[in-house]
Amino acid sequence: MTPYLVCALVSLSTAAPPQTGRDIVRAMHDRYAGKWYRTLSFVQKNTATAPDGKTEHSTWREYASLPGRLRIEFEPADSGAGLLFVRDSQFVFAGGRLKSATAFVHPLMVLGFDVYFDSADQTVARLERLGFDLATVHEDTWDGRPVYVVGAKAGDQRTRQFWVDRERLVFVRMLEPGQRDTTRTSDIRFNQYRPAGAAWLSAEVAFLVDGHERWLEQYTEIETGGPLPEALFDTTHWTTGTE
């Protein structure tokens, strides 16, 4: 074994794990910068489950242009209803017309996608605006895999926090107090990751409240990297389709 190889192995074995959320954000960015798909489209099958167990189903169509842009079309398509997220703003449409526009930093876009495009400093600033304590980090396991947990100490599942797969460096979970009832705990999970070129794609997102699933998104007809019309993300040209 050459001295160079010995030194390399020692360096790898003694490399310190990330100490802060800022370190983890930078590691996420550096792993996939230039490798993550820039566009994404899919059909989203939704299942809403009420506390009494009754379920309702709906279908949405979604298009993403990364970083920072997401279009959601509600079916039926001729309703002209949906949402548009363009950088830190949210636009609501109904009947093909803009109904409201508000400032909104979408945490799932930041952690699941934009982190691989924006600079680490930009992502850190947005996560701090969202209230994550990036100085507090611990390690745990999730779905049998080691993870970093940013924003809370070990055993605390009430403070706003996000979980990152330690090996793949992808977002897998976010916990926070409920928005309407802060005594409850909201738990959002990116499930069923699959390879997408040199990157990854979660084909299912589950939303739980106090451990009970209330909303499930399952994605089909998934396409990555294909061209998308700029008009899809133009707030002045909302249509009921992709034309």
Find out whether 177 and 158 touch, Cβ atoms under 8 Å.
Answer: yes
Largest Cα span, the chain: 70
> What digits encode the pLDDT tens for the residues 190-221?
999 999 999 999 999 999 999 999 999 999 99
Domain for residue 126, yes or no? yes
What is the dihedral sign for C-alpha 198, 86, 28, 195? negative
Q: Rounded to 5, what percent of the chain is helix, strand, coil?
A: 20, 45, 35
Domain for residue 11, yes or no? no
Q: Report the C-alpha gap between 8 and 6 in whole angstroms.
A: 5
Strand ranges (DSSP E) for the chain? 39-49, 55-65, 69-74, 82-86, 89-94, 97-103, 137-142, 145-150, 161-165, 171-177, 185-196, 199-209, 212-224
Domain extent at residue 132: 18-233
Q: Which residues pair with 140 in a beta bridge?
A: 147
Quote the Cα angle for 116-103-230, to 5°: 60
Share of the chain above pLDDT 70, in %: 91
Domain for residue 104, yes or no? yes
Q: Report the C-alpha gap between 6 and 16 in whole angstroms.
A: 18
pLDDT at 9 over 80: no
Find out whether 208 and 186 touch, Cβ atoms under 8 Å.
Answer: yes
Find out whether 187 and 209 touch, Cβ atoms under 8 Å.
Answer: yes
For residue 25, the domain's CATH number is 2.50.20.10
> What digits encode the pLDDT tens for the residues 53-83?
999 999 999 999 999 999 999 988 788 999 9
> How many domains does one find in the chain?
1
Domain for residue 59, yes or no? yes
pLDDT at 5 over 70: no
pLDDT at site 52? 95
Domain for residue 3, yes or no? no
Q: Report the C-alpha gap between 231 and 234 in whole angstroms.
A: 5
Domain for residue 2, yes or no? no
Domain for residue 35, yes or no? yes
> Lowest-pLDDT range, 15-24, 41-50, 69-78, 156-165?
15-24
Domain for residue 160, yes or no? yes
